[in-house]
Amino acid sequence: MKAIEVNGLNKKFITGKEEAHILKNLTFSVEQGEFVSIMGPSGSGKSTLLYLLGGLDKPSSGTIKLDGKDLSSFKKKAMSKLRRTKIGFVFQFYNLVQNLNVEDNILLPIILDGKNPKQYEKKLKEILEVIGLADKRKLTPRELSGGQQQRVAIARALIAEPDIIFLDEPIGNLDSKTGKEIMELFRTINVTYKKTLIQVTHSNNAALYGTSIIRLVDGEIVEHSEIALAAMDSSCPA
């Protein structure tokens, strides 16, 4: 089954009298378990595409299917539910809640979904181990480094066990050593936990952690190719 199927996707933004055609007739698909790197110049529509795929915004025309289900068939409530349970998002600036500690930030999607966070204690412990912050669960974001904050955001994206995780420039705010560590964590999440990952990135090195590349220029796909295993040499720097 395909994780994502996009057909004839267009996105236009209308501001005042101006209409900007940002995504132009995109058609592509992503297999389950893929790790896709969306690349392209600034302003080429990468984030716009990511937000459409994750249901944060709506297409002007065309269809997006996640796990075979057309996103346009979801009513508002079902869409919010989908976003809390089937999809995870990780952003460049982490987007953590500053007055909540690490564990409450991670459990936020669970709480917002109306579930009892106590039932997630085992899962929480497991995820804290995976991200390497088991001893930091009571700290608040401002007591953590950038890399640690991004790890918390990653844990929050994982807690509801989504199938697909969307990453928008996830290492864009980190130094290269920390960025590399975070990219290795994503590789683990892709390979060991079998999550489909879609990342937007400026960095060639970060892109090479993926299994395929989609290159956008001016809202059009100019390349969609698999990344050769040889390029995934573990020595590649982030």
Closest distance to Mg ion from the beta carbon of 201 (Å): 10
CA distance 8 to 27: 5
Footprint of ligand ADP on 9-48 (CB under 6 A): 13, 15, 20, 22, 40, 42-48
Cβ(172)–Cβ(92) below 8 Å: yes
Task: Tell me how far the alpha carbon of residue 114 is from its chain's centroid.
Answer: 23
Percent of residues in the chain assigned helix, strand, coil, to nearest 5: 40, 30, 35
CA distance 171 to 146: 10
Closest distance to Mg ion from the beta carbon of 235 (Å): 28
Q: Nearest 5°: CA angle at 238, between 54 and 146?
A: 65
Binders of ligand ADP: how many residues, by CB under 6 A?
Answer: 12
Closest distance to ligand ADP from the beta carbon of 124 (Å): 32
CA distance 36 to 210: 5
Closest distance to ligand ADP from the beta carbon of 126 (Å): 33
Residue 87: name its binding partner from ligand ADP, Mg ion, none (Cβ under 5 to 8 Å by kind).
Answer: none
Query: What is the total residue count of the chain?
Result: 238
**C-beta of 73 vs 204, nearer to Mg ion:** 204
Footprint of ligand ADP on 47-106 (CB under 6 A): 47-48
**DSSP letter string over 112-167?**
HTT--GGGGHHHHHHHHHHHT-GGGTT--GGGS-HHHHHHHHHHHHHTT--SEEEE
Cβ(167)–Cβ(197) below 8 Å: yes
**C-beta of 20 vs 112, nearer to ligand ADP:** 20
Q: Which of 47, 105, 199, 203 binds Mg ion (CB under 5 A)?
A: 47
**C-beta of 131 vs 210, nearer to Mg ion:** 210
Which range of residues in 46-54, 74-82, 134-142, 202-210 is near Mg ion by CB under 5 A?
A: 46-54
Cβ(2)–Cβ(25) below 8 Å: no
Closest distance to ligand ADP from the beta carbon of 144 (Å): 26
Closest distance to ligand ADP from the beta carbon of 15 (Å): 5
Residue 112: name its binding partner from Mg ion, ligand ADP, none (Cβ under 5 to 8 Å by kind).
Answer: none
CA distance 179 to 75: 37
Closest distance to Mg ion from the beta carbon of 50 (Å): 8
**C-beta of 8 vs 43, nearer to ligand ADP:** 43
Binding of ligand ADP at residue 215 (CB under 6 A)?
Answer: no
Site residues (vs Mg ion, CB under 5 A): 47
Site residues (vs ligand ADP, CB under 6 A): 13, 15, 20, 22, 40, 42-48
